[in-house]
Amino acid sequence: MERAAHLVDRVDLSANQRMCHTKHMRMHIDIDDALVAQVDEISGHRQRSAFVREAVQAAVDQRKRWRLIEGAAGSIADTGHGWDADPAAWVRDQRVGDTTRVG
C-alpha cells in the first residue's frame, strides 16, 4: 500500500514538472450562467476558452495603457509651448510644413 502511494506521488510530481514547461496554465473561475450563455452565443461552438483568453488579454492591455496614461499625467508643462498663443495657427503651420502629408 505504501509503495502504491509512493508511485502516485511520483506520477503527480512528474505531471507538475511537465506543466511548468508549458505556455498555458489552466485557471478555475466562477462565472454566472447567464454570462456564460452570452459568451457561448458570441464566441461560437467550442470557442469559449479562446474568447475568454482574448477578453482577459484585452482587459490586461487596457489596464496597462491606463497606467501609462496616468503615469504620464503632468509630465508636460502647462505653458511654454509653441501652440500656447494660437493653437489653430500652430496646427495649420504643422500641416503645411509636413511634406509627407497628403491633402
Cell triple for 84? 500656447
User: What was the pLDDT predicted at 8?
Assistant: 45
103 residues of the chain, pLDDT tens digit each: 455 444 444 444 444 455 555 678 889 999 999 999 999 999 998 999 999 999 999 999 999 999 999 999 988 888 888 899 999 999 999 888 888 877 6
User: What was the pLDDT predicted at 45?
Assistant: 87
pTM over 0.85: no
At 10, give phi and psi (nearest 5°): -65, -45
User: What was the pLDDT predicted at 36?
Assistant: 94
User: What was the pLDDT predicted at 47?
Assistant: 95
Quote the CA–CA distance of 74 and 48 in Å, as a whole number.
41
